Amino acid sequence: MELLTRLTLRASPLDIANDVLVLDSAPESFLKSLRIHFTHAYKQQQRERPFKKIVSSDSKRDDGLQLADMVAGAIRQSVWENDPIHYRLFARKVIDLWQVG
């Protein structure tokens, strides 16, 4: 939850204000906890709510989540395996690639 919050706080409020955050197969209890966590973190930063809504979906049936998995896989291959062949296809579109530990 903390990583999601920190990543979200890095984004410009204008970039995500009306977006929907879709999580893969997240239980409702996690979604509720995440909403509460975002609310507290954003109040501390004196910022508006980060997303219009937060929902769960199944990547087996959701094309957007499948695409996100492919992008994440291409980034992983570029960083961990030093093989940027697929990442190069969309690298110019990446605004902020944050590598953690």
DSSP 82: S
* Rounded distance between C-alpha atoms, residue 90 and residue 97, angstroms: 12
Q: What is the per-residue pLDDT for 90? A: 95
Amino acid residing at 88: R
Q: What is the per-residue pLDDT for 21? A: 94
Q: What is the per-residue pLDDT for 101? A: 62
Report strand pairing: 20-24 vs 53-57.
parallel
- Which residue, among 23, 34, 27, 100, has the nearest Cα to 69 in the 3D structure? 23
Print pLDDT tens along the chain (101 aa). Answer: 888 888 888 888 888 888 999 999 999 999 999 999 999 999 999 998 888 899 999 999 999 999 999 999 999 999 999 999 999 999 998 877 777 66
Q: What long-range pairs does 65-74 form, CB within 8 A, spacing at least 24?
A: 65/22, 65/24
Contact 5, 51 (CB under 8 A): no
